[in-house]
Amino acid sequence: MKLAALLLNAIQSIQEPVVGGYRSLPEATWGADPLEYLGGFRSLEYDKDAKFPSSLAPNATVSWSTIAAQQLSCHPQSAQVRLSVAFPDIDLAFLQRIYGWAALQYQGWARGHLRVNGEEPQTLTLATNNLLEFYLDGQHHFGGDYYAFRRAPIVLHLEPGDHVIDIRLVRDVRAMGGVGFPTIDLQLEARASTKGLHISAENTLMPDMVDGRLASMLGSIQVRNDHVHDIEIFAVSANDSSYFVWLLQPDDFRVVAGQTRPVSVAISCQTNCSPYLGFDIEYGVVGQDRSQASVLHLDHQFTQRELHEPLKVTFYHPGGMVSYAILRPPPSNLSCPLDSEGLLPVFLQLHGAGVEADNDIVRHALDPLTDLCAWALFPTGSTPWSGDDWHVWGFADVEAAIKAIPGWIESIGWNGPGVNTKRWLVAGHSNGGQGTWYALTHRPDNVFAAAPISGYSSIQNYVPYDLWQPMTPSVRALLDASLSSYRHELLLDNLKGISILQQHGGVDDNVPAFHSRLMNQLIKQQGANSSYVELQGKNHWFDGIMTTEYLSEFFEQNLNDFARPLRAPEAFTLVVANPADSGPKFGVEIL
């Protein structure tokens, strides 16, 4: 497979590729493609002598070049290509010394061909790791698998022959790294399929099982519609009479053509439940009589856990999907200081970017601390990239997970101390450290203590927006105002009265210690207090980073003191950028 690559102007800013007016998006998702002045890359023909303007390249121009795939494999039912695109003639290292990581974010385009053999049209899926958008035969496809989740491939129906594919290359420091040479590595994988509904078994989400009982009663089964018509899910049932399964959204549950969608189900089983359960999904093409329905089958084995080990609980996210968190109950044989109602607080642990909450690194992060007097909760934030950086719907996932704990207590028959869902100790690493700042500044009445660990202060500070396309001051003001709720540096008055310990590695090359040093300085300038520990010679991550001696003492001290009643001072300040995402301080809330 031969491709032509073209380097264009630098772009800037990064977050998850989510479309919405409520948060900072990559400038790439808004367009910001200089070739649109020429009708777009799709309108250009290969010409080795053509020149295009670029702010990065020598002589301010770039041209076409050809590269070969790093790896190419073709089989009767699949084809895969890996590309590593770089521009060594551009001195990005020099630009980085001036503009920081912002200089390592650039975009380009590549063109190749997808050949469909045979004489009949084919249905296939296209996985697009680290790719935001592409054009196939001039047709625009947006919403590629930019962060390589491998959950929702694009469904294509193609005629035999060669098909031109133009892929947009966008380099993102957070996803692709800021250390080493700034290449763009991506993978395309086409697989033959059939028209119909398919189950993605590896993306099935189910609760764990404890002593023959389900940890929660919700699950989801991911399906993909490879048909050219929309499909309706009529029912989901169990093939075990001790279980009862039903659709959470039974009325007109559609999966449109080409869509991948989780099917949310409720599962009822009282006691002595089998760890093995078969699901039958009854479906048909929209408009088709139910008597002509087809059935897909899925076998699932529930993971069995002990009562006091970290276990998976599922719950309903406000966005209309089933999500999960890892829950570790408190020791039932430990004498813990309880509040006036006999309850213990929630200990939130927010993971870093690109890490699944069900990963052993997260699940067992607190294992050295066996005597925690708290309900330890490891939310997912909806995705390994914590939704949208633990903001808006990522934080909605956190709060929904907290509200699910009483349901677990009831379903399991827990007889230990209950949970105070209004009182939180929050700790998080990296992006989770930034999420800890968000919780501190937006839920000050809930958070009684917090430990941001190796966290960045705000996305605007992490990879600045310096190289965005120029804009007028009025437009820039609108943009900055819309993002101000995530500028934690501006909201630090809300932290007063909350116990804080910051920890950061002294040689962290992922999130520089500058971020924690800056926040510590600003907090003290606001008249608040925060303890700061810098671990000399330590990088961004190391075994035991979440349970160092400093953190262990901090957690124990604040969990022992959490039940002390809150007393509002005679005067305090509440700073709110957006009332819709901010909670009260000492009972005062801006509506």
User: What confidence tens digit (pLDDT) does each residue in 421-471 have?
Assistant: 999 999 999 999 999 999 999 999 999 999 999 999 998 899 888 788 788
Residue 74 has pLDDT above 90, yes or no: no
How far CA 485 is from CA of 324, 438, 458, 471, in Å, comes to: 26, 9, 10, 21
Tokens of 61: 């121009």
| Encoded amino acid at 366, one letter | L
Local structure of 255: helix, strand or coil: strand
Query: For residue 5, what pLDDT is reported?
Result: 36
User: What residues does 255 pair with on adjacent strands?
Assistant: 231
Residue 510 has pLDDT above 70, yes or no: yes
Residues 469, 92: Cα–Cα separation, whole Å:
18
Rounded-to-10 torsion of CA 491, 497, 503, 509: 0
pLDDT in tens, 363-400: 999 999 999 999 999 999 998 887 678 998 899 999 99
Residues 529, 531: Cα–Cα separation, whole Å:
7
Tokens of 394: 């990522």
Helices 431-442 + 392-412 axis angle, to 10: 90
| Encoded amino acid at 23, one letter | R
Burial class (CB in 10 A: 0-12, 13-18, 19+), 249: exposed
Residues 549, 545: Cα–Cα separation, whole Å:
10
* Those residues with Cβ within 8 angstroms of residue 411's Cβ, 6 or more apart along the chain or in another chain: 213, 214, 215, 216, 217
Return the exposure string of 148-180: e unless at least 16 CB atoms fall within 10 Å of the residue's CB, then b: beeebbbbbebeeeebebbbbbbbbbbbbbbee
Tokens of 121: 């049209």
* Those residues with Cβ within 8 angstroms of residue 274's Cβ, 6 or more apart along the chain or in another chain: 240, 242, 243
Burial class (CB in 10 A: 0-12, 13-18, 19+), 52: buried
Kindly report the pTM of this predicted structure: 0.92
Give the angle subtended at the CA of 281 by the CAs of 317 and 145, to the nearest 5°: 55
pLDDT in tens, 306-342: 999 999 999 999 999 999 999 999 998 788 999 999 9
Query: For residue 187, what pLDDT is reported?
Result: 92
Query: For residue 65, what pLDDT is reported?
Result: 87
566 DSSP assignment: P
Of the chain, the end-to-end C-alpha distance in Å amounts to: 57
Query: For residue 32, what pLDDT is reported?
Result: 66
Quick one: how far is CA 184 from the chain centroid? Answer: 20
Share of the chain above pLDDT 70, in %: 94
